[in-house]
């Protein structure tokens, strides 16, 4: 009963708020250009943000991982990794102009790179012809998916999701998170964005950034460059649009900290 | 040190060995290698932090362009070199093949790498044994290797029929299975992955890396005695 309710709430957020971009899965004229298999997770949100920034329509295919949908049905058949997000691009054509097989990409970092390279006019990733600017952007993108993301997800596991408190796990996660936020805070010193200008590195960062914004790490306010960056980000229409939905998705999860038994949002 | 085309800062770790393999695959010989002793904290020295504010190796400096370009994150180094030399990564004109490589490359650094790090921390490096944490990371790492085993079921290399940077990146941590500290009976559990290990190890570049790793592990074991 409880589970069903969560899914209903979740779908309600989707239908209510995705009115601009939500295309019914049952639309008759064949496949949509893009299908996004995702949920309200940090990695999925990066892809939602990206599509919003590109202003490209897509079919949203919610995969409720809390109900194990990533191991079921159509999604399980087309993914080798059972992880969201996954992007399916149905627009590719063969040399003779016939529609080609759909292109399926998983790993949020790879999806952002793909879309940025496909839509170079978005200027969200410098081209290969500018190796200096480009590699600066890709290294901060990769840093997030390989260092910061895994680090914060460990923290979230040990502080919110573990079936019982594991003190040493919390201690390590706490230290690792403080180290990584220090690196990020230093990087953002004197910079408006992670790299020279707004890029996929910032979009990727806000995937976790939005959860930081809602207080999953209480010490965040010590990191003044990060909070300043966050204030810049939340002014943007994309994030303005998503923040209320993210807040709602967090509220219905009813998260309680395992270190002090406090709820993330006051009940 | 700008007498060579590249400066490579590394240590005997999985992520450094990826760069060793890449340089060999591209037949790049004009580079200086500097060992950064991360066990002694050299990655926190101001000169190093100037290159990588994230205090991690590997770092690669490309001196062939002016001013020299400093790169960190192993996946970025591999992608940069592959695009520069147009090898081991298909170009933008082949998006399907290119992104088959880039998604698995990202998988190796975002899933395989961090989870290997967690596993080795909880299983080996941490003095205090925490069963719940070991179990969590063991379960995830076994899932990750069965994903890799699954994709290798009907292809020679991870992204298809050709060697690419995602094979190089995967091998950095992948070779640890051979050292017997990750998954018991991995050859039987992951037969396709085992076949892939045997295949890439026919190449001089991968043999070079496994030799470096063998030495490092022997030294580490000797230091523990």
Tens digits of residue pLDDT in A72-130 = 888 988 888 889 999 999 999 988 989 899 999 999 999 999 999 999 999 999 999 99
The verdict on B38 and B78 lying in the same domain is yes
CATH number at residue A21: 3.40.30.10
The one-character DSSP state at B157 is B
The nearest CA of chain A is from the CA of B125 a distance in Å of 13
- Which one is predicted more confidently, B218 or B31? B31
CATH number at residue B174: 1.20.1050.10
Last residue within a domain, chosen from B85, B112, B129: B85
Q: What is the pLDDT of residue A186?
A: 96
Q: What is the pLDDT of residue B2?
A: 67
A135-156: pLDDT as tens digits: 999 999 999 999 999 999 999 9
Average pLDDT of the segment spanning B45-60: 94
Using the Cβ of A118 and the Cβ atoms of chain B, whether some distance falls under 8 Å is answered with yes
Residue B125 maps to a domain = yes
The verdict on B81 and B99 lying in the same domain is no
**Chain B hits for A46, Cβ within 8 Å:** none
* Residue A267: pLDDT band with limits 50, 70, 90: low
Q: What is the pLDDT of residue A11?
A: 44
Q: What is the domain count for chain B?
A: 2
Q: What is the pLDDT of residue B128?
A: 87
The verdict on B34 and B110 lying in the same domain is no
Using the Cβ of A138 and the Cβ atoms of chain B, whether some distance falls under 8 Å is answered with yes
Q: What is the pLDDT of residue A168?
A: 94
* Binary contact (A147, B114; C-beta < 8 A): yes
Cis peptide before B58 (omega within 30 of 0): yes
The verdict on A102 and A171 lying in the same domain is no
Using the Cβ of A166 and the Cβ atoms of chain B, whether some distance falls under 8 Å is answered with yes
CATH number at residue A167: 1.20.1050.10
The verdict on A39 and A137 lying in the same domain is no
Residue B43 maps to a domain = yes
Q: What is the pLDDT of residue B127?
A: 86
Using the Cβ of B146 and the Cβ atoms of chain A, whether some distance falls under 8 Å is answered with no
**Chain A hits for B146, Cβ within 8 Å:** none
Average pLDDT of the segment spanning A211-237: 97
Q: What is the domain count for chain A?
A: 2
Last residue within a domain, chosen from A80, A102, A122: A122
**Torsion sign, CA atoms B204, B175, A157, A37:** positive
Q: Which residue range forms the structural domain that includes residue B218?
A: 95-224
Residue A260 maps to a domain = no
DSSP per-residue string spanning chain A: -HHHHHHHHHHHHHHHH-TTTB--TT-SSS--SEEEEE-SSHHHHHHHHHHHHHT--BEEEE--GGGTGGGSHHHHHH-SS--S-EEEE---B-TTSSBPPPEEEESHHHHHHHHHHH-GGG-SS--TT-HHHHHHHHHHHHHIIIIIHHHHHHHHIIIIISSS--HHHHHHHHHHHHHHHHHHHHHTTT-SSSSSSS-HHHHHHHHHHHHHHTTSSGGGGG-HHHHHHHHHHHTSHHHHHHHHHHHHHHHHHT-B-TTT--BSS--
The separation between the first and the last C-alpha atoms of chain A, rounded to the nearest angstrom, is: 20
Q: What is the pLDDT of residue B25?
A: 98
- Test the B interface: residue of A81, A114, A172 with most B CBs within 10 Å: A81
The verdict on A47 and A78 lying in the same domain is yes
To the nearest 10°, report the CA torsion of B72, B78, B83, B89: -150
Closest-CA residue of chain B to A114: B99
Residue B189 maps to a domain = yes
Residue A258 maps to a domain = no
Using the Cβ of B147 and the Cβ atoms of chain A, whether some distance falls under 8 Å is answered with yes
Neighbours of A135 (CB within 10 A): 26
Last residue within a domain, chosen from B25, B60, B85: B85
**Chain B hits for A143, Cβ within 8 Å:** 54, 72-73
Q: What is the pLDDT of residue A28?
A: 36
ipTM for the complex?
0.91
In whole angstroms, give the CA distance from residue A173 to residue A195: 27
Residue B1 maps to a domain = no
Max mean pLDDT among B14-28, B39-53, B171-185 falls in B14-28
Surface-to-core class of residue A248, CB atoms within 10 Å of its CB (0-12 exposed, 13-18 middle, 19+ buried): middle
Q: What is the pLDDT of residue A20?
A: 34
Last residue within a domain, chosen from B65, B85, B105: B85
The verdict on B114 and B77 lying in the same domain is no
The verdict on A115 and A213 lying in the same domain is no
- Which one is predicted more confidently, A81 or B33? B33
In whole angstroms, give the CA distance from residue A207 to residue A243: 11
Judged against a pLDDT cut of 70, whether residue A23 lies above it is answered with: no
Q: From the list B65, B103, B113, which residue is nearest A105 (CB)?
A: B103
The verdict on B118 and B75 lying in the same domain is no
The verdict on B220 and B127 lying in the same domain is yes
The verdict on A73 and A164 lying in the same domain is no
B172-202: pLDDT as tens digits: 999 999 988 899 999 999 999 999 999 999 9
* Residue A31: pLDDT band with limits 50, 70, 90: confident
The verdict on B80 and B101 lying in the same domain is no
Largest CA distance in chain B: 54
In whole angstroms, give the CA distance from residue A23 to residue A61: 10
**Chain B hits for A172, Cβ within 8 Å:** 121, 126
* Residue B217: pLDDT band with limits 50, 70, 90: confident
* Binary contact (A128, B69; C-beta < 8 A): no
Residue B211 maps to a domain = yes
The verdict on A110 and A178 lying in the same domain is no
Q: What is the pLDDT of residue B143?
A: 96
Judged against a pLDDT cut of 60, whether residue A1 lies above it is answered with: no
Residue A263 maps to a domain = no
Judged against a pLDDT cut of 90, whether residue B23 lies above it is answered with: yes
* Binary contact (A169, B76; C-beta < 8 A): no
- Test the A interface: residue of B55, B81, B102, B116 with most A CBs within 10 Å: B102
Percent of chain A residues past pLDDT 90, beyond the cut? 76
The verdict on B65 and B166 lying in the same domain is no
* Residue B224: pLDDT band with limits 50, 70, 90: confident
The verdict on B159 and B179 lying in the same domain is yes
Closest-CA residue of chain B to A88: B96
The lowest-confidence range among A203-217, A246-260, B68-82 is A246-260
The verdict on A71 and A182 lying in the same domain is no
CATH number at residue B59: 3.40.30.10
Average pLDDT of the segment spanning B126-153: 94
Indicate the helix (H) or strand (E) that contains B221: helix B204-224
Q: What is the pLDDT of residue A38?
A: 94
Judged against a pLDDT cut of 90, whether residue B155 lies above it is answered with: yes
Q: What is the pLDDT of residue A78?
A: 87
Q: From the list A80, A142, A145, which residue is nearest B147 (CB)?
A: A80
The verdict on A138 and A107 lying in the same domain is no
* Binary contact (B53, A183; C-beta < 8 A): yes
**Torsion sign, CA atoms A149, A154, A159, A164:** positive
Q: What is the pLDDT of residue A12?
A: 43
Q: What is the pLDDT of residue A266?
A: 77
Residue A265, sorted as left (phi over 0), alpha (psi -120 to 50) or beta, turns out to be beta
The verdict on B37 and B118 lying in the same domain is no
Residue A246 maps to a domain = yes
pTM metric for this prediction = 0.90
Using the Cβ of A114 and the Cβ atoms of chain B, whether some distance falls under 8 Å is answered with yes
Q: Which residue range forms the structural domain that includes residue A30?
A: 2-122
* Residue B1: pLDDT band with limits 50, 70, 90: low
Average pLDDT of the segment spanning A210-239: 97
Residue B101 maps to a domain = yes
Average pLDDT of the segment spanning A222-227: 98
Contact partners, residue A261, CB within 8 Å, separation at least 6: none
**Chain B hits for A208, Cβ within 8 Å:** none
B56-115: pLDDT as tens digits: 999 999 999 999 999 999 999 999 999 999 999 999 999 999 999 999 999 999 999 999
The lowest-confidence range among A6-10, A205-209, A229-233, B214-218 is A6-10
The verdict on A52 and A160 lying in the same domain is no
Last residue within a domain, chosen from A89, A122, A155: A122
The verdict on B143 and B201 lying in the same domain is yes
Last residue within a domain, chosen from A102, A122, A142: A122
Closest-CA residue of chain A to B54: A183
The verdict on A116 and A21 lying in the same domain is yes
Q: From the list A82, A110, A154, which residue is nearest B103 (CB)?
A: A110
The verdict on A111 and A150 lying in the same domain is no
Three-point CA angle A35, A240, A116, nearest 5°: 45
Contact A148, A184 (CB under 8 A): yes
The verdict on B99 and B210 lying in the same domain is yes
């Amino acid at each position: 009963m409880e589970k069903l309710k969560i899914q209903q709430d979740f779908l309600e957020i989707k239908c209510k708020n995705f009115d601009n971009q939500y295309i019914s899965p049952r639309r008759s004229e064949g496949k949509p250009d893009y299908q996004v298999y995702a949920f309200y997770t940090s990695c999925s949100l990066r892809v939602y943000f990206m599509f919003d920034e590109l202003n490209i329509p897509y079919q949203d295919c919610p995969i409720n991982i809390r109900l194990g949908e990533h191991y079921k049905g159509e999604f399980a058949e087309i993914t080798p990794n059972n992880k969201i997000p996954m992007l399916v691009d149905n627009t590719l054509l063969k040399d003779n102009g016939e529609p080609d097989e759909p292109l399926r990409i998983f790993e949020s970092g790879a999806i952002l790179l793909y879309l940025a390279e496909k839509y170079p006019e978005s200027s969200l990733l410098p081209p290969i012809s500018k190796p200096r600017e480009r590699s600066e952007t890709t290294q901060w993108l990769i840093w997030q998916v390989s260092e910061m993301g895994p680090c914060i997800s460990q923290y979230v596991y040990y502080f919110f999701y573990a079936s019982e408190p594991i003190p040493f796990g919390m201690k390590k996660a706490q230290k690792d998170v403080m180290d990584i936020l220090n690196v990020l805070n230093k990087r953002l010193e004197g910079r408006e964005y992670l790299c020279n200008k707004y890029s996929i590195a910032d979009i990727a960062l806000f995937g976790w950034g939005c959860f930081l914004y809602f207080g999953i790490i209480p010490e965040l306010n010590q990191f003044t460059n990060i909070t300043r960056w966050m204030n810049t980000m939340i002014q943007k229409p994309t994030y303005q649009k998503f923040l209320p939905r993210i807040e709602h998705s967090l509220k219905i999860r009813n998260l309680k900290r395992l270190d002090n038994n406090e709820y993330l949002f006051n009940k | 040190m700008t007498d060579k085309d590249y400066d490579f800062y590394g240590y005997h770790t999985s992520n450094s060995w990826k760069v060793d393999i890449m340089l060999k695959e591209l037949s790049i010989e004009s580079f200086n290698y500097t060992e950064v002793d991360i066990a002694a904290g050299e990655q926190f020295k101001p000169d190093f932090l100037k290159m990588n504010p994230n205090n991690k190796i590997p770092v690669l400096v490309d001196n062939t362009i002016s001013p020299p370009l400093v790169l960190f994150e192993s996946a970025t180094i591999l992608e940069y070199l592959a695009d520069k030399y147009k090898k081991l990564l298909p170009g933008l004109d082949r998006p399907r093949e290119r992104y088959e490589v880039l998604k698995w490359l990202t998988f190796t650094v975002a899933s395989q790498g961090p989870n290997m790090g967690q596993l080795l921390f909880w299983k080996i490096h941490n003095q205090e044994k925490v069963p719940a944490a070991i179990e969590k990371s063991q379960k995830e790492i076994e899932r990750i290797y069965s994903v890799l085993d699954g994709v290798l079921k009907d292809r020679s290399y991870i992204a298809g029929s050709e060697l690419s940077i995602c094979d190089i990146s995967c091998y950095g941590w992948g070779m640890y299975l051979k050292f017997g500290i990750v998954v018991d009976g991995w050859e039987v559990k992951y037969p396709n992955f085992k076949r892939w290990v045997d295949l890439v190890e026919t190449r001089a570049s991968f043999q070079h890396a496994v030799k470096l790793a063998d030495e490092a592990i022997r030294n580490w074991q000797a230091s523990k005695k």
